[in-house]
């Protein structure tokens, strides 16, 4: 039995605008079109390292008191990462190398649809109770 594939998570067209830095455009089998900026994808990178970092940041935010001298709040200026290169992995994912040197993030289409920044997908994929 083939695994039924959710048409909402099946891309019909994937465009990665590495040179222009415009981000990623995906057209899905259900007709939906998603646009992702590279810095957004960098933040949502699903690799183990980034998952770890996000976890630490959350823990830090939970423990550090606002204005605490032990944890001075520094303005964190970082240039927004862009994509240096993108590779299609099989027919299930896109791997993106970012300008900050990070390249272990493999964005499966399943994950991409789930993190689609539009309100419609936020409602469909990110509010459902587990
Ligand atoms: Zn990562
Ligand atoms: Zn969407």
In a domain? residue 130: no
In a domain? residue 73: no
* Cα–ligand 2 centroid distance for 73 (angstroms): 34
In a domain? residue 2: no
Res 59: pLDDT: 86
**Residue ranges making up the domain that contains 113:** 7-52+80-125
* Cα–ligand 1 centroid distance for 53 (angstroms): 9
DSSP string, the chain: -PPPPPGGG-EEEEEEETTTT-EEEEEETTS-EEEE-HHHHHHT--SHHHHHHHHHHHHHHHHSPTT-TTS-------PPP-EEEEEEETTTEEEEEETTS----EEEHHHHHHT--SHHHHHHHHSS--
CATH number at residue 31: 3.30.2020.30
Q: Write the pLDDT tens digit of every residue in 73-110.
A: 566 677 789 999 999 998 899 999 999 999 999 999 99
Res 61: pLDDT: 80
In a domain? residue 66: no
Res 97: pLDDT: 97
Enter the pTM of the model: 0.81
Ligand nearest to the CA of 49: 1
């Amino acid at each position: 039995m083939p695994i039924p594939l959710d048409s909402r998570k099946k891309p019909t067209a994937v465009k990665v605008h590495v040179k222009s830095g415009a981000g990623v455009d995906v057209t899905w089998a259900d007709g939906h079109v998603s646009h992702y900026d590279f810095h957004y994808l960098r933040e949502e990178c699903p690799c183990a390292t980034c998952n770890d970092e996000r976890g630490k940041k959350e823990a830090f935010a939970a423990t550090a008191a606002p204005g605490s001298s032990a944890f001075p709040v520094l303005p964190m200026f970082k240039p927004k990462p862009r994509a240096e290169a993108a590779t299609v992995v099989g027919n299930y994912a896109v791997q993106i190398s970012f300008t900050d040197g990070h390249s272990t993030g493999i964005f499966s289409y399943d994950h991409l649809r789930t993190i689609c920044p539009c309100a419609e997908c936020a409602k469909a994929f990110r509010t459902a109770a587990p």
